[in-house]
Amino acid sequence: MSTLSLQSFQEQVSELLLRHRSLLDVLSKNGQSNASVIRAVTKAVTECGCIELHATKQTFEPGIDLEQAKEVAGKHVKGELCENCREAVSSELGRNLFYMSALCNLLDINMDDVVQRESQKCSTLGLFNLS
Ligand SMILES: [Zn+2]
């Protein structure tokens, strides 16, 4: 299976982007699509019920290794997304990526570079880059 690069996705979005050429329009659509991702996850909890949220305080001890930290840090999620909710959340994430890509196009930012730099930061900062 071939992987679609962010660059080619970005070019594809650029070609489709006739209606949303205004920066303000794209900015607000980006915010809206982000809220829709949150909404889809929320609905999986409150309307479908395939996942449950059990939130408690997260505590991290300094000096523990990655595996220990993973065990201590609760995900607060019980269960797995059902097929419908997975589809809904994935679809909203895609929409969100579309507008993020559109924003990058308007500001002449390359998404592959963004991912590359963030990945670099992650490997430099390591384990406690949690925020
Ligand atoms: Zn569900």
Cα of 40 to ligand 1 centre, how many Å? 10
Cα of 112 to ligand 1 centre, how many Å? 32
Residue 26: Cβ-neighbour burial (10 angstroms; 0-12, 13-18, 19+):
buried
Cα of 80 to ligand 1 centre, how many Å? 8
pLDDT tens digits, residue range 39-69?
999 999 999 999 999 888 877 677 777 777 7
Cα of 42 to ligand 1 centre, how many Å? 10
Question: Per-residue confidence of the chain (131 residues) as pLDDT tens digits?
Answer: 467 788 888 888 888 876 667 899 999 999 999 999 999 999 999 999 999 998 888 776 777 777 777 666 677 889 999 999 999 999 999 999 999 999 999 999 999 999 999 999 888 876 655 55
Residue 96: the pLDDT is 95
Cα of 97 to ligand 1 centre, how many Å? 22
Instruction: Please name the amino acid found at residue 34.
Output: N
Q: Using DSSP, state whether 13 is helix, strand or coil.
A: helix
Query: Distance between CA 54 and CA 44 in Å, rounded?
Result: 14
Query: Distance between CA 4 and CA 125 in Å, rounded?
Result: 28
DSSP secondary structure string, 38-85?
Answer: HHHHHHIIIII-SEEE--------TT--HHHHHHHS---EEE---HHH
Task: Identify any residues that bridge with 78 across adjacent strands, giving them in sequence order.
Answer: 52
CA atoms within 13 A on the CB side of 72: 13
Cα of 28 to ligand 1 centre, how many Å? 28
> Measured in whole angstroms, how far is the alpha carbon of residue 30 from the centre of its chain?
12
Cα of 11 to ligand 1 centre, how many Å? 33
Residue 82: the pLDDT is 98
Cα of 55 to ligand 1 centre, how many Å? 19
Q: Using DSSP, state whether 69 is helix, strand or coil.
A: helix
